[in-house]
Chain A
Amino acid sequence: MNEDRSLYPEHDENGKPIIDLESHKFLKLWQGPQHPGITGNMSLELTVSGDEIVESKTHVGYLHRGFEKLLERRLFVQCMPTSIRLCVAEPDPNEYIVSTAVEELGGIEIPDNAKWLRMLSLEMARLQVLLRGVPGQAGTFALGLGYQWGNYLRDLILDSFEELTGGRVYHMYIIPGGVRGNLPEGFKGRMLEKLKLIDEFVVKIDKLIFQNVVFESRAKGLGHIPKEWVDKYGVYGPAARASGVMRDVRKTNPYLNYDQLDFEPHVTTEGDVYARSVVRYNDLQMTVDMIRQILDKMPDGGDIRAQTPNVLHWKIPKGETYVKCESSRGEYGMYFVTDGSDKPRRAHLKGPSYTHANALLDKLLINANIADTAAIMVSLATCPPEIER
């Protein structure tokens, strides 16, 4: 690349690049909606000059199923199977935010044992995402081996989910009032054995990815997010922590029993793809440690559900709330409005992908190489369903 990229293309008085496609100096290139380097059903309209991106525009709408509107026509308990589909890769935070919003507005306090079980479910969900996500970042630079290893271990965690909840991908475990079941017999022991395998994987991944010269040379300095952009563009979770800003709802606004766990989310200041990978790698180790702590500290049995009104006739007084938790991608929240009837008046999901994949990604891709598009996008962990809802 030339040293001063601000000189080309020329910009108008409003600071927008002057792109004349008729001049044949530029080309429109679509990345997605079907593309191995895309994080789901979305597409990027790239304007390129040679192999350099001069403008990017995110397009969504390939996956819109009207979930928010559908929730307005369902009883509170019927919201559960719909809302979990708001993010396929990590559905458990959806269960948590919807259930907690219903409980908060409905005046329900859940038992302590249910809080621990919810934490276990949420951390297991984070773990299975990171087991694919951390090595998946190397996959965007054509280093696919770690992803295969991670997928095997993810499958073991899905086995545990099946054991705990009956479902592998969608669990429907967290419900208004508590959770659906206690730990099966011997679950703790089996989970601890799986965590030992993940400890070994963590060492291998360090050697495979972070000590790999290709990964290092391509990821360092790529997709840089300055610290000042974190608030301005709405950067959350690991992406914000890689730019030197502590953003973790579990730490800043502790919910459930997270204040009883000993953990310190990793913060670094480089703000590039490499830094975001390092933060996620540390998140992976931290999640393993947190699951061990949860299994150690949680009570052996106890109530798992609070008394709720008959779910088929449950009316909640007029009110509104905003409930949030920390997903693997960052702050994940539900704005919930009730009107005294048996259905929500409004349910609005706020996921980090909304800001990450729109204004931020458009900005980050300028002056990047076409081959680095997937790496930058994956480093932000965008999830299209939570944008379209």
Chain B
Amino acid sequence: MQKGINNLIEKFGASDLVERRSGLSFITVDQTKAVAAITHLKDIDGYTVLSFITAADWIEDGKMQLTYMLNNPAEVAEIAIRVMLERKKEAGESMETIHHLWPNAKKWQQELKEMYGVDFPTSPGVNDSFILEGWDDMPPNRRDFDTKQYAEDTFFPRGGRVTHDPATYMREQLDPKDPQYYTKKKKKDINS
């Protein structure tokens, strides 16, 4: 078993361990103990690199999963800490910041606030826009954000963006006088 896993289970009550392959494990830690567990992994167990923080939206289970990928370069090992937040319908889940452990964490946290609506109070610049500018809609990476609808509402109608059914369009182009000709011919060929 990877270094640090036992501590996570015994000291922080971690669960749902999945050892994906040698040197890569996924484990769930309770939200209230997550920052303490991450601090322990960094300061005691040698997981000194924060590879990334990201989220996965499990809308059907009412959960918002945060994943903290930590790397221990000396042991060539990685642990992904899963934190399952209670998902809110209108966004606004909240999690403790870890920018005091890694300065670059503030950018991921800023992005998560913008794209998933997960707040990290006290994280520097967390409310500043990162990628989106002047965005007042739902955080767009949440599962219930309808990208197609947004694109249709925002960008359509625009000249030159007419959509055709490919089959009908081809028939009309091939024989404008009798668009059904090729369909009839095909059926006839099949019957013969």
A interface residues, Cβ below 8 angstroms from B = 60-61, 64, 66, 68-70, 72-73, 104, 231-234, 245, 247, 252-253, 319-322, 331, 333, 335, 337, 345-346, 348, 350, 354-355, 358-360, 388
Tell me if B182 is interfacial: C-beta within 8 Å of chain A.
no
Tell me if B147 is interfacial: C-beta within 8 Å of chain A.
yes
A104 to B21, CA, bound (A): 10
Q: Chain B residues near A333: list those with CB within 8 A.
A: 51-52
Give 4 nearest A-B pairs by CB, closest first.
A346-B56, A359-B104, A348-B54, A231-B48
Question: A61-B133, A388-B131 known; A322 and B104 CB under 8 Å?
Answer: no
Sample 5 A-B pairs with CB under 8 A, ordered by A number: A64-B131, A72-B143, A231-B49, A321-B20, A321-B21
Contact A335 B54 (CB under 8 A): yes
Residue in B21, B50, B56 whose beta carbon sits within 8 Å of that of A234 in the complex: B50
Q: Chain B residues near A358: list those with CB within 8 A.
A: 104, 107
Contact B107 A359 (CB under 8 A): yes
With most chain B CB atoms within 10 A of its CB, the pick from A69, A322, A345 is A322
Contact A359 B106 (CB under 8 A): yes
Q: Give the interface SS of chain A, mostly helix, strand, loop or mixed.
A: mixed
Interface size class of B (residues with CB under 8 A): 35 or more
Q: Chain A residues near B73: list those with CB within 8 A.
A: 231, 245, 247, 252
A61 to B129, CA, bound (A): 9
Tell me if B14 is interfacial: C-beta within 8 Å of chain A.
no
Residue in B21, B23, B104, B131 whose beta carbon sits within 8 Å of that of A61 in the complex: B131
B interface residues, Cβ below 8 angstroms from A = 18, 20-21, 23-24, 26, 48-52, 54-58, 67, 69, 73, 76, 78, 80, 102-104, 106-107, 129-133, 140-141, 143, 147
Residue in A66, A104, A234, A247 whose beta carbon sits within 8 Å of that of B102 in the complex: A234
Who on chain A is nearest to B129 by CB? A61
Contact A66 B104 (CB under 8 A): no
Contact B69 A322 (CB under 8 A): yes
B91 to chain A, nearest CB (A): 15
With most chain A CB atoms within 10 A of its CB, the pick from B50, B52, B57, B133 is B52
A69 to B23, CA, bound (A): 28
A73 to B132, CA, bound (A): 21
A60 to B107, CA, bound (A): 12
A307 to chain B, nearest CB (A): 22
Q: Chain A residues near B133: list those with CB within 8 A.
A: 61
Contact B140 A233 (CB under 8 A): no
A234 to B140, CA, bound (A): 27
Residue in A72, A320, A335, A346 whose beta carbon sits within 8 Å of that of B52 in the complex: A335
With most chain B CB atoms within 10 A of its CB, the pick from A66, A234, A350 is A234
Question: A253-B23, A350-B51, A355-B104 known; A322 and B80 CB under 8 Å?
Answer: yes
Contact A73 B129 (CB under 8 A): no
A245 to B74, CA, bound (A): 11
A350 to B50, CA, bound (A): 11
Residue in A68, A321, A337 whose beta carbon sits within 8 Å of that of B24 in the complex: A321
Contact A233 B104 (CB under 8 A): yes
Q: Chain B residues near A252: list those with CB within 8 A.
A: 73, 76
A351 to B73, CA, bound (A): 17
Who on chain B is nearest to A333 by CB? B51
Who on chain B is nearest to A247 by CB? B73
Q: Chain A residues near B55: list those with CB within 8 A.
A: 346
A330 to chain B, nearest CB (A): 11
Question: A73-B147, A231-B73, A322-B69 known; A348 and B48 CB under 8 Å?
Answer: no
Q: Chain B residues near A104: list those with CB within 8 A.
A: 20-21
A243 to B103, CA, bound (A): 19
Q: Chain A residues near B58: list those with CB within 8 A.
A: 345
A73 to B151, CA, bound (A): 14
Q: Chain B residues near A69: list those with CB within 8 A.
A: 140-141, 147
B134 to chain A, nearest CB (A): 11
Q: Chain B residues near A331: list those with CB within 8 A.
A: 51
Contact B76 A253 (CB under 8 A): yes
Contact B132 A61 (CB under 8 A): yes
